[in-house]
Amino acid sequence: MKLSIVTTLYRSAPYIEEFCRRAFEAARDMTDDVELIMVNDGSPDDSLVHALQVQRADPRVVVVDLSRNFGHYKAMMTGLAHARGDLVFLIDSDLEEPPEDLRRFYDRFRRGHCDVVYGVQETRSHGGFFERTGGAVFFALVDALGDRPLPRNLVTSRLMTASYVKALVRHRDREFVISDLWETTGFRQTSIVVAKQSTSPSTYSILKRIDLAVKHLTTSSTRLLYLVFYLGLLIFITSIGMVLFYLVRYLTNGIGVSGFASQIISLWFLGGLITLVLGILGIYMASILAETKRRPYTVVRAVHRASDRLDGTQMRPTSLSRTESLS
């Protein structure tokens, strides 16, 4: 059995050596055929330097260097596309999720009746007030306006079969929430509770979480469009009722529609509503434009493998190679 461990690098320089050591130790009891794929997501620190040092010392390490920062989700999908193992273990490299959890995941997997074992937290207690608030706002928006709810308290760590990973990377969405793709892909999935520590500040601010929620809703949800339609229909029916009311009152009592304030309020309300509707439709159109461009998830500058050194070939910049299925 071949095992692939996939992780991403972004401001990960302080953790790389320890992460690799602990990950290989955790995999030792499972199999000797292991590869560790680290995707450098345009990290602004010297994560790539540290990763290449480890890769030169250990032939089991593969470094996929992206041409720039494409985002955590897309970097993970790129790493999964390069995985060659029969089982694939996805985990973050910041050590908030212990690499030793791989043993627990594998023990559950060996009991059968599942293609994916994924980790969840009992409670999401780590992070500051703004981080927790951002998460609450994000899930509130998705639950209220999305076609389906997103699972709560997921962590990155998950052990997956090669067939599941192959189906997962076939998704072609340009804007997505990866937890939604994990669930949409299907297969038999089961969860185990893990303990996640907080060793570094989250890179997902409140504004970034809201932006992520908006992109997710406008690329995967139709409920928002239906809500806009029904809101417009409700206002139209209400306006017809108001017109009839004032017309009847004028014909029966001779009282006209008076009041400058009521007119201004109506204009501001309808103007704001129209702007809101156009804005929502504009976001949908922008998402459609992004999808129709068919740009690749990521652009890979180079893939560093031990086999390249052994063959005597010169490392050259490359396109997506194994990630062409993501384009």
Higher pLDDT, 174 or 302: 302
CB 10 within 8 A of CB 47: yes
pLDDT (0 to 100) of residue 322: 40
Q: Where are the alpha helices (DSSP H) in 15-71?
A: 16-27, 47-57
For the stretch 310-325, pLDDT in tens is 444 444 433 343 444 3
* Fold exhibited by the domain 2-128+152-204+296-326: Spore Coat Polysaccharide Biosynthesis Protein SpsA; Chain A (3.90.550)
Give the up-direction half-sphere exposure of residue 243: CA atoms within 13 A in the CB hemisphere: 6
Task: Return the closest-CA partner of residue 40 out of 22, 67, 60.
Answer: 67
Average pLDDT taken over every residue of the chain: 78
Looking at 30-44, 145-159, 196-210, which range is the least confident one?
A: 196-210
Distance of CA 297 to the CA centre of its chain: 13
- The two three-digit tokens of residue 114, written as one number: 């599942």
Lowest mean pLDDT among 80-84, 181-185, 228-232: 228-232
CA–CA distance, 222 with 205 (Å, rounded to integer): 26
Q: What is residue 128's predicted lDDT score, i.e. its pLDDT?
A: 59
Which residues make beta-bridge pairs with 35?
Answer: 4
**What confidence tens digit (pLDDT) does each residue in 102-117 have?**
999 999 999 988 999 9
Beta strands in the chain (DSSP E): 2-9, 33-40, 61-66, 87-90, 116-120, 154-161, 189-193, 300-304
Q: What is the SS3 assignment for 149?
A: coil
Token pair recorded at residue 28: 């030792």
Q: What is the pLDDT of residue 62?
A: 94
Considering only 89-103, 185-199, 209-223, 296-310, which range has the smallest mean pLDDT?
Answer: 209-223
SS (H, E, C) 232-272: HHHHHHHHHHHHHHHHHHHHHHCCCCCCHHHHHHHHHHHHH
Closest CA to 149 of 213, 203, 208, 192: 213
Q: What angle (nearest 5°) sits at the alpha carbon of residue 68, between those of residues 65 and 74?
A: 80
> What pLDDT sits at residue 272?
66
**Phi-psi domain of 128 (left: phi exceeds 0; alpha: psi -120 through 50; beta: other):** beta
Q: Are strands 87-90 and 116-120 parallel, antiparallel or unpaired?
A: unpaired
SS3 193: strand
Separation between Cα atoms, residue 223 and residue 146, nearest integer Å? 6
Nearest to 214 by CA among 109, 140, 106: 140
Q: Looking at 78-82, 207-211, 261-265, which range is the least confident one?
A: 261-265
Give dist(CA 263, CA 199) in Å, integer.
56
Dihedrals φ, ψ of 3, to 5°? -115, 130
| Distance, CA of 324 to chain centre | 19
Residue 10 phi/psi, 5-degree rounding, is: -155, 110
**Nearest-5° Cα angle at 205, 203 to 211:** 110
Residue 157, both tokens: 């760590």
Cβ-Cβ contacts under 8 Å for 7 (sequence gap 6 or more): 19, 23, 36, 37, 38, 39, 79, 90, 91, 92, 93
The secondary structure of 68-91 as a DSSP string is S---HHHHHHHHHHH---SEEEE-
